A and B are shown apart, each in its own frame.
Chain A
Amino acid sequence: MSLDLRIPLGLLFSIVGVLLSIYGLVTRGSEIYARSAGLDINLIWGIVMLGFGLTMFLLGRYSDKHAKPQPPGEGEPRPLGHNH
């Protein structure tokens, strides 16, 4: 299968991470954090998710670039060599 799951997974987590971090920055010190024991949980968790997302995304991209060429599947013609 040539879709590396780490790429969409990394993208989703990065985007959600960025959104949460920005929202956390904007609402820093707001009374909504009385719920979460005074922690700006949006900012903290946004950064954690961004870190995880980027790692996954980069790992996915890296292995995509260095992927070994797939061996031909059953029934598919084998690549023919040149007769020089």
Chain B
Amino acid sequence: MQPCTVTCDIAIQVSRRGRPGVNLTTIDWLIMLLYFAFVLGIGFALKRFMKTSKDYLQAGRSLPAWICGLAFISANLGAQEVIGMGASGAKYGIVTSHFYWIGAIPAMIFVGVFMMPFYYGSKARSVPEFLRLRFDEKTRAWNACSFALMTVFSSGISMYAMARLIQTLHVFDKLFLRLGLPVDWIFHFAIILSAVIVLCYIFLGGLTSAIYNEVLQFFLIVAGFLPLVWVGLKNVGGWDGLKAALPVAYMHSWKGMGSAQTNPLGVDWFALVAGLGFVLSFGYWCTDFLVIQTAMAANSEESARRVPLIAAIPKMFFPFLVILPGLIAIGTPMVTQHVMNHDAAAGVTASNAENLSAGRGLIPAKVDPVTGKVMLDTHGQPVLDYDLAIPNMLLHYFPTGILGLGLTALLASFMSGMAGNVTAFNTVWTFDIYQSYIHKGASDAHYLKMGRWTTVVGILISMGTAYVVLGFNNIMDTLQLVFSIVNAPLFATFLLGMFWKRSTGHAAFIGLASGTVGALLHHGLTIGAGDHPGIHGGWLHVIHTYPSDMALNFWQAIFAFTINFTLTVLISLVTKPRPEKELVGLVYSLTPKPVEHHMAWYARPSNIAIGLIILLVGLNFIFR
């Protein structure tokens, strides 16, 4: 959930460093083309199975748990996540793993064990539809509209980030030069290429196609990044060598968490556990239809419960795949860099050489695009461009051949991030907006058609967003701010809805709306240390300064949740509850508990959950 900012100055800066970009040969292109062929092939192969809107938008509710489980984490594993986590690993160290161990696993266990029976068992076709069944129409409308908008915008951001990265790494430069095309067109080419591929495979095979390709992408990411970690670790002298090359604070996840002043994140343990671990993480993993849609596509309620639990196993070890490369990038000695990049270094000017030495490990310093000088922070230290940690690792350690595989993995992760958003958008639009408010009672064939064509519209809006982001520098930060404000209070509504039969529709709606307004006000009145009032907070008036942006974000979530929770409870107590018989299957205390005794011991969700908790505690203990 850590956003990355692949900004335009990266492109300028990489070219100024004198790095020639990627030197791809036939084998690299072959691997990339093979992947694209398979992605489209899966779409074509699935087309004949898409007969009803349920087949298309809900994958016929027929997929095995392991496929949905891997898609569950892949949907979240867009390249912004991969690049952002690598960047954060390089900047903060192992402490970044909290975004996985605290910020994902407990919520994934909770949604699998406790919430999935209601999502799946209620026969709701989407998360907003569950809100209508449990509460009322207006709560659903609020959630459906805000969610639909956010998904297409996120997909656009993903598209923009991919086009930027392709441009930055000069992937297509040689191809364009050979064809006599202007290099400036590469951005447009990357946008159109990704849009066409994602459009084709979703248009043809719907959610099944998106899920299948997410699984393919999961294995590609592992296949592309595992050798990167292996070679990188070998180069820095193994785990011990890495430890020796990095500051002590980089290797611990809990050290200094007692106070916001003594750890690199600038948050204390309470804000971390309550803000990230509870509100933000549960709000995302337990209510975001982007991930929940994959679990709802499972072939039975038992499978659906297992989906997030199966997903949690690889998720727990993902820090070793995406955060560790960031640490290795910092730990890679400068000497080997110069030896290996001698071809690139041969053409560097004096100022480039200065930029190179201002960096750290494989992370270059940011360069002012106007003056060409290294950018310095308020302490006179060079500002490092951490977003280049993973791309530079790939370029640095991979020879041609496997480099094609690594880049394919990166491209695949961008595309599946987009695809998950697009399928979530077409389901919510078709079922929760179109069928509910625009055209009720049409034939299923009509809704199937609507679902298909919504894919086209969703992709067109994403492309539009990508260009808007290109045109206005601040828009990406603004959109991410809006997402965080809308998402912050959400979990309180679901928690009370599923576990307190007394909560009412009016209360849920007012609570949700007030939580959102509360988050907005909090953002306007507080700021992170060192920021200027504006997009980073304090645009109304600064009444409190947090030690870091992250602390502001976590506390904002805590406030929004508390406002929503308190108001929903208070208003529920003075409004009329729904009769209990209408809430069977929707509320915990009124629904028969799922039975597990007929399953093998290792297949029981509660046993898997216990195993996961033991592993989680173990990992936190080892890397304390």
- Listed in ascending order, the chain A residues whose CB lies under 8 Å from chain B are 1-3, 5, 8-9, 11-13, 15-16, 19-20, 23-24, 27, 32-37, 39, 41-42, 44-45, 49, 52
Contacts and interface: CB of A to CB of B under 8 A. Distances in A.
A49 B216 CA distance: 13
15 contacts: A1-B46, A1-B63, A5-B67, A11-B38, A12-B38, A13-B223, A19-B31, A19-B34, A23-B401, A27-B401, A35-B398, A36-B231, A37-B235, A41-B398, A42-B402
B616 to A, nearest CB: 27
A3 B49 contact: yes
B60 interface: yes
A12 B34 contact: yes
B401 A1 contact: no
B27 A39 contact: no
B314 interface: no
Nearest to B30: A19
Given A16-B405, A42-B402, A1 B60 contact: yes
Interface in B1-60: 27, 30-31, 34-35, 38, 41-42, 45-46, 49, 59-60
Contacts of A20: 27, 31, 401-402, 405
The 6 A-B pairs of least Cβ separation, nearest first, read A32-B399, A42-B401, A37-B235, A37-B234, A36-B231, A12-B38
B231 A16 contact: no
Nearest to B37: A12
B114 to A, nearest CB: 28
A9 B215 contact: yes
Given A19-B30, A39-B231, A8 B399 contact: no
Nearest to B231: A36
Given A36-B399, A42-B402, A49 B223 contact: yes
Nearest to A3: B45
Nearest to B59: A1
Nearest to B41: A8
A33 B41 CA distance: 34
A21 B41 CA distance: 24
- Count chain B CB atoms within 10 A of each CB in A20, A35, A52 and give the residue with the most: A35
B45 A8 contact: yes
A2 B400 CA distance: 37
Contacts of B401: 20, 23-24, 27, 41-42
B340 interface: yes
Contacts of A16: 31, 34, 405
A9 B399 CA distance: 24
A3 to B, nearest CB: 5
Contacts of A11: 38
Contacts of A12: 34-35, 38, 216
A41 B402 contact: yes
A23 B223 contact: no
A16 B339 CA distance: 30
A11 B78 CA distance: 24
Contact of B399 (A15, A35, A49): A35
Interface string B216-230: 100100010001000
Nearest to A21: B401
B278 interface: no
Given A12-B35, A12-B38, A23-B27, A35 B405 contact: no
B436 to A, nearest CB: 23
Given A9-B219, A24-B401, A19 B38 contact: no
Contacts of B41: 8
Nearest to A11: B38
Interface string B377-409: 000000000000000000011111110010000
A1 B49 contact: yes
B38 A32 contact: no
B234 A19 contact: no
B300 interface: no
Contacts of A5: 67, 212, 215-216
B208 interface: yes
Contacts of B34: 12, 15-16, 19
B513 to A, nearest CB: 39
